[in-house]
A and B are shown apart, each in its own frame.
Chain A
């Protein structure tokens, strides 16, 4: 038996090229876009409808309406009650997923191929003929209100909401919770839901995606049978400017007496999804806080033991979403954790990253791509990105090359341009009495304490 080489790690070998399924496009007479991609061995199909009906389109003072509308779709059609819909879906063994993101309403079902037609008939009825019964909408509104109340007691949710609130100026939709506020949701009515639906749910503002055991022409025919006579209308797209909520670096303490940890969010406005620096920013963020071995986690978790985990990320949306560094840390090390996080951001901004670090981040991003493309739902979600952000159909074929093209200079440049250390909202949800003195003496910005929230 040969001796085993243990002193050196075995070489990983060449990663195999990624085969991303070809996307085929069709279009119905009412302008509904139909996209199809074959995937996997299982006789499953995911059908996903992407509608330009995201929360960014919530009218002023009606925050939470897009979300309430997606939830209410399932509560009755002209010919089916909520109960019937629930029973029929479950009888088919399928679940309707309906969510509102900032940029779109996304509704999907995954069904065995032989039940796809029946599932799609129900799906189309739900999407096209919702009745929005008043009692149902009232009940969902009360559920949404209860969630909002509970989120105020959940430190992570509270920190996320407060970070958005301070990063963006008053009136910017992204500064509000996507599910709305107590005041905005309390005022929502059944008629608001119906009006939002009529304005935004249109075939010519939607795409229907099919992924799995299906070809494009079959998909088109199915789409035509169930969505072909959906009348087109006049689409509207939300228009707004993204304006920062702070001009200088500011520390906002959100007081939660008795907290054993502080939820830290260090945030700023990031960039829109179509920004030309998208790929360099992905690599830069991987180095800063986008992976387990990133600098923030190595420092705050592994070196200092302040936290169970620290990370950072950009929320890429149609318009610039937030960039946030986050960690939950023990109360007594709150100021030190903020200091270390700022130190890591400063170092990356001023010195950039080594060739080796950049190469590791590139390889990580290139390697994990297939992990996110295993199921028909996952693949459909990637197709939804293509639709929502108007990316080219060969986007995922090009993805790995675009990552590979990012150089250390690119990383340093985008760190300098996008990590603006002079304009940060540093939000800390924790026990003010115990953390304020330390944060004051850090001297990283004016400290403001909020007790009412």
Chain B
């Protein structure tokens, strides 16, 4: 399978890193900007701000007044969006290749000239939208508060991963126009960003357009480094939430190695062996053989300052969660003890590789990958090395990682149960 992403890298005088990937096979272009700021850069009392700020980036800049951004892009047949994670914020457009210059003009304008167009009214309107997003995606959704409950238990209050990306309601209310100005000046400078242009384009022309539109945006101050307070073991905290649900659900969460650090890839594979797909261990034991679970999931949530390994098991109605926890921990112990068949490792590698190639079928997926590698590893061309991390894996590597990170440390365990059914929760001792 072809996994290399041919590209050229160029850095403007103001520090903006530009990565161009030419692919003439589709008549499209993807423009993808990563700002190296996420919810980890927030402080207690202003949680949710990076994401609220992301919303404001769509509300107009000095030369492209409110409404123009989406109107122009949709009217040329493009799609656009953005997303905020704990580590970074991205913005992207995908449009007919002939409209590349328009996307660059819009991205440059909001990178360089957002503040002259910023108003209190825009902040208030997007604050309302985001509060509704929080209601829709978290508060009014079954199990919606589980992840933020776990984060708060897993990380101490001043740790950058203690709070959820969406933020807390009271903090959203507290955000001011001054915060917007300060955040923009601190983090939205060209030297804190990277730009990928991918698709049916000519590299030299892209560079000259990027130079024209972004070149005069001034370099900003060096963004402050985020320091994570060292995480001490939280002694296997056990939590219970009563919620408006019918199916009890168990969440287990462990601290795990940072993105691309030793053990990160091995835990991706462990997650696959444990709970991804119908041939995975927990699916076979809990869903298939015993019929006590509705579904199972495990994943390594890879992050810059340290990751989280999750196992999420949804029970059938009335099934006590303790039973599901016992089986999960037994399977992990077996893996840690080296009881991993070669076929299981191969299956994990195959699945990971297939998912990888699938993502690269999409131009936007390729563009985002280039920025991801640039940000996390410093090398946008890391794709082949990344895949190599998985191809090299052997059963012993997986056992070692599971032993060190999962079996050696008690997880935070959260039971979400139907109201009035605390009896179904996994033991809280």
Please say whether chains A and B are actual partners in one complex.
Answer: yes
Interface bits B342-357 vs A (CB < 8 Å: 1, else 0): 0100110011011001
Instruction: Give the interface centre of B75, B94, B277 by most chain A CB atoms within 10 Å.
Output: B75
B319 to chain A, nearest CB (A): 10
Q: Distance (Å) between the CB of B413 and the closest chain A CB?
A: 21
Cβ-defined contact, B125 with A302, below 8 A = yes
Q: Which residue of A lies closest to B30 (CB)?
A: A371
Shortest CB-to-CB span from B272 to chain A, Å, is 10
| In the complex, per-residue mask of B95-137: 1 if CB is within 8 Å of any chain A CB, else 0 | 1111101100110010001000000000011111111110111
- Chain A: which residue is nearest B272 at the CB level? A90
Q: Given the known A-B contacts A12-B98, A149-B246, A374-B361, are A139 and B79 also in contact in the complex, defined by CB atoms under 8 Å?
A: no
Q: Please, how many angstroms separate the alpha-carbon atoms of A308 and B125 in the complex? A: 11
Q: Which residues of B contact A91 (CB under 8 A)?
A: 343, 346-347, 350
The interface bits of chain A over 281-320 (1 if a CB of B lies within 8 angstroms of the residue's CB, else 0) are 0000000000111000010011101111000000000000
With A90-B277, A91-B350, A367-B78 known to touch, is A41 a contact of B25 (CB < 8 Å)? yes
**Minimal Cβ-Cβ distance residue in A for B77:** A367
| With A146-B317, A149-B246, A360-B71: A308-B136 Cβ-Cβ less than 8 Å | yes
B135/A90 in contact, CB under 8 A:
no
| Min C-beta distance of A182 to chain B, whole Å | 11
Q: Chain A residue with minimal CB distance to B418?
A: A153
How many angstroms between the C-alpha atoms of A18 and B98 in the bound complex? 13
Contact with B along A1-39 (1 / 0, CB 8 A): 000101101111111101000000000000000000000
* B146 contacts A by Cβ under 8 Å: no
CB-CB contacts of A82-103 with B at 8 A, as 1s and 0s? 1100110011111100000000
Whether A150 is near chain B, meaning CB under 8 Å from some CB there, is yes
Contact of B71 among A152, A153, A293, A301 (CB under 8 A): A293
Q: Hey, which chain A residues are within 8 Å of B351, CB to CB?
A: 90, 93
CB contacts (< 8 Å) of A360 on chain B: these are 71, 74-75
B10 interface residue (CB < 8 Å to A): no
Flag if A93 contacts B129 (CB, 8 Å): no
Contact B350 A90 (CB under 8 A): yes
Please name all residues of chain B whose beta carbon is closer than 8 Å to the beta carbon of A153 when the two chains form the complex: 142, 244-246
B141 contacts the other chain (CB 8 A): yes
A149-B74 contact, Cβ under 8 Å, with A10-B101, A86-B277: no
B99–A12 touching, CB < 8 Å = yes
Say if the beta carbon of B185 comes within 8 Å of chain A: no
For chain B, the count of residues having a C-beta within 8 Å of the partner chain is: 78
Q: Which of A15, A292, A371 counts the most chain B CB atoms within 10 A? A: A371
Instruction: List residues of chain A with CB within 8 A of the CB of B131.
Output: 330
From B124, B126, B135, B288, A82 is in contact (CB under 8 Å) with B288
- A195: interface (CB < 8 Å): no
Seen from chain B, the residues whose Cβ lies within 8 Å of a Cβ on chain A are 1-2, 25-28, 62-64, 67-68, 70-72, 74-79, 94-99, 101-102, 105-106, 109, 113, 124-133, 135-137, 139-142, 212-213, 216, 244-247, 277-279, 284, 287-288, 291, 294, 316-317, 343, 346-347, 350-351, 353-354, 357-358, 361-363
Q: List 29 A-B contacts (CB under 8 A).
A: A6-B62, A6-B109, A9-B64, A12-B76, A12-B99, A13-B99, A14-B98, A16-B98, A74-B278, A87-B347, A92-B350, A93-B354, A94-B354, A95-B277, A142-B291, A142-B316, A146-B246, A150-B246, A154-B141, A260-B135, A261-B139, A291-B74, A305-B125, A308-B136, A328-B132, A329-B132, A330-B132, A364-B74, A374-B362
